[in-house]
C-alpha cells in the first residue's frame, strides 16, 4: 500500500506563520471510490491567500478546517481512476492540497482541469496559472491601461506582479515596479523590460515614485496595500484606476490595518479603486491562456519560478512569500515530473 504524506492544518495562526500551525501526517492512499480518481502531486502552489484560508475571518471561501489537509493549488498526474473523464497518465491542475496524493472527484475550490500532454507544468502554475490569469484580468479588465500611460506595480518581482508589469509593457505603457531588493529591481529592468524599479525597503518611496513617474500615475496594480498604497494615492492622475489585487503587507497583522489616509485623492482625482478576484473570470481563462501563450512564444512575456524541493519544506517555503524569498512564482516540488 502506498503511503501519503500530508500537511494538516493544526492551529489557526496569529501573526507571522511559525510552522507550528501545521502537522505532518502519514496515511495510506485510499482506493478511489466510484467517480473518483487519484492524482500524484508534482508541484503545489504557495499563495499569500492561503494565509487567509487558515483563519476563520469572513472571506470568499470557507476556512480550512482544523485537522484538514492544507488547501493549495497544484498540478499532477492521474495514477488511478474510476472517473469516466480522467484516465491514468492525464495531467491535471486543481486544488490537491499539501499532500503527495489527492483522491478527488474533480471538484474543489479550483475544480480539476486537464492539461494538454506535454504541458510545461511549472509555467502552467505560474504565468499560465492562477497568478498569471490574475495579472491578465487585473491589468486589462480592471486597470484598462492605454498606450503611453504610467502603470505602477507593487510586489513587482512576485508571481502576479512580474506578469502584470510585463502585460502593461505589452500595452505600450511606462511601467514602474516596486520590489524588496536591488537584485529584484535589476531583474525587473534588465530582464523583464520595466522602465524603472524602486527598492521599497531602502528608497524614499514618495520621492522615488515622483522621479520615476514624472507624468503622475494612471494605473496602480496593488499587491501589497498599506503605506505603499497610501503613498501612491498622493501621486495619482485624473481618472486613475487603482487595481486592488491583494494587500500582503497586512496578511500577518494581528490588529486590523488602518485605512489609507490619502483616500480623498480618489475624490479629488475622480479616480476608481476596485478589488477583483481571478475566479470571477473563470469563463474567460481560455482567452487569457491563448493570448499569454502567444506573448510567451513571441518572447514578450517571460516566466520565472522559485522551486523549493520536498513537501516536507512547504511550511518553511510558505514563509518565503512574506519575507520576499521568492522571485516569480513560488512552488514546492512534491514529486518527480512525469516522464
Nearest distance, CB of residue 278 and ligand NAP, angstroms:
4
Nearest distance, CB of residue 248 and ligand NAP, angstroms:
4
- In the region spanning residues 153 to 192, those forming contacts with ligand NAP, defined by CB under 6 A, are 155, 157-161, 179-181, 184
Nearest distance, CB of residue 120 and ligand NAP, angstroms:
18
| CB closer to ligand NAP out of 80 and 128 | 128
Q: What is the distance in angstroms between the CA of the first residue and the CA of the last residue of the chain?
A: 23
Nearest distance, CB of residue 241 and ligand NAP, angstroms:
15
x/- track of binding to ligand NAP for residues 261-300 (CB under 6 A) = ---------------xxx----------------------
If one asks whether residue 126 binds ligand NAP (CB under 6 A), the answer comes out as no
| CB closer to ligand NAP out of 47 and 149 | 47
**Helix extents (H) in the chain:** 49-53, 121-125, 130-137, 159-170, 182-190, 205-212, 226-233, 265-268, 285-297, 314-323
Nearest distance, CB of residue 86 and ligand NAP, angstroms:
26
| CB closer to ligand NAP out of 31 and 274 | 274
Give yes or no for a contact between 159 and 330, defined as CB atoms under 8 angstroms apart. Answer: yes
Secondary structure element (H or E) that encloses residue 75, with its range: strand 74-81
10 Å CB burial of residue 84 (0-12, 13-18, 19+) is: exposed
Of 81, 131, 235, 333, the one binding ligand NAP by CB under 6 A: 131
| CB closer to ligand NAP out of 314 and 321 | 321
From 13-21, 68-76, 152-160, 285-293, give the range in contact with ligand NAP by CB under 6 A: 152-160
Considering CB under 6 A, how many residues would be counted as binding ligand NAP?
A: 31
| CB closer to ligand NAP out of 144 and 181 | 181
Q: What's the CA gap between 103 and 37, in Å, rounded?
A: 6
| CB closer to ligand NAP out of 209 and 321 | 321
Per DSSP, what are the bridge partners of residue 4?
27
| CB closer to ligand NAP out of 181 and 237 | 181
10 Å CB burial of residue 57 (0-12, 13-18, 19+) is: exposed
Nearest 5 degrees, angle CA 230-CA 134-CA 119? Answer: 150
Give yes or no for a contact between 145 and 218, defined as CB atoms under 8 angstroms apart. Answer: yes
| CB closer to ligand NAP out of 80 and 330 | 330
Cα–Cα distances (Å) from 335 to 65, 202, 260, in that order, read 26, 39, 43
From 22-30, 82-90, 167-175, 318-326, give the range in contact with ligand NAP by CB under 6 A: 318-326
The string of DSSP letters for 261-288 reads TTTTHHHHTT-EEEE--GGGGGGGHHHH
x/- track of binding to ligand NAP for residues 207-246 (CB under 6 A) = ----------------xx--------------------xx
Q: What's the CA gap between 2 and 30, in Å, rounded?
A: 9
Number of C-beta neighbours around residue 52 at 10 A: 16
**Site residues (CB under 6 A) for ligand NAP?**
47-49, 130-131, 134, 155, 157-161, 179-181, 184, 223-224, 245-249, 276-278, 321-322, 324, 326, 330
Amino acid at each position: 500500500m502506498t503511503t501519503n504524506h500530508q500537511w494538516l492544518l493544526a492551529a489557526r495562526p496569529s501573526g507571522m506563520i511559525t510552522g507550528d500551525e501545521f502537522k505532518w501526517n502519514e496515511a495510506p492512499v485510499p482506493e478511489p471510490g466510484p467517480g473518483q480518481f487519484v492524482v500524484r502531486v508534482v508541484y503545489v502552489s504557495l499563495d499569500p491567500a492561503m494565509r487567509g484560508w487558515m483563519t476563520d475571518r469572513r472571506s470568499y471561501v470557507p476556512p480550512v478546517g482544523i485537522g484538514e489537509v492544507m488547501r493549495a493549488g497544484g498540478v499532477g498526474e492521474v495514477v488511478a481512476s474510476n472517473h469516466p473523464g480522467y484516465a491514468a497518465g492525464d495531467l491535471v491542475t486543481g486544488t490537491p492540497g499539501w499532500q503527495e496524493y489527492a483522491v478527488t472527484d474533480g471538484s474543489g475550490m479550483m475544480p480539476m482541469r486537464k492539461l494538454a500532454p506535454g504541458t510545461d507544468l511549472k509555467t502552467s502554475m505560474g504565468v499560465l496559472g492562477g497568478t498569471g490569469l490574475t495579472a491578465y484580468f487585473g491589468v486589462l479588465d480592471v486597470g484598462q491601461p492605454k498606450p503611453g500611460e504610467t502603470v505602477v506595480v507593487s510586489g513587482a518581482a512576485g508571481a502576479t506582479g512580474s506578469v502584470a508589469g510585463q502585460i502593461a509593457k505589452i500595452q505600450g505603457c511606462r511601467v514602474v515596479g516596486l520590489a524588496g531588493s536591488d537584485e529584484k529591481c535589476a531583474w525587473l529592468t534588465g530582464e523583464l523590460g520595466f522602465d524603472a524599479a524602486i527598492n521599497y525597503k531602502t528608497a524614499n518611496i514618495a520621492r522615488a515614485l515622483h522621479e520615476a513617474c514624472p507624468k503622475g500615475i494612471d494605473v496602480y496594480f496593488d499587491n501589497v496595500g498599506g503605506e505603499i498604497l497610501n503613498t501612491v494615492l498622493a501621486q495619482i492622475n485624473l481618472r486613475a484606476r487603482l487595481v486592488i489585487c491583494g494587500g500582503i503587507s497586512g496578511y500577518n497583522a494581528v490588529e486590523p490595518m488602518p485605512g489609507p489616509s490619502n483616500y480623498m485623492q480618489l475624490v479629488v482625482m475622480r479616480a476608481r479603486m476596485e478589488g477583483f478576484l481571478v475566479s470571477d473570470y473563470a469563463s474567460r481563462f481560455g482567452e487569457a491562456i491563448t493570448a499569454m501563450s502567444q506573448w510567451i512564444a513571441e518572447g514578450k512575456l517571460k516566466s520565472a519560478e522559485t522551486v523549493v524541493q520536498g513537501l516536507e519544506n512547504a511550511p518553511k517555503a510558505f514563509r518565503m512569500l512574506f519575507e520576499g524569498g521568492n522571485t516569480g512564482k513560488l512552488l514546492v516540488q512534491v514529486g518527480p515530473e512525469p516522464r
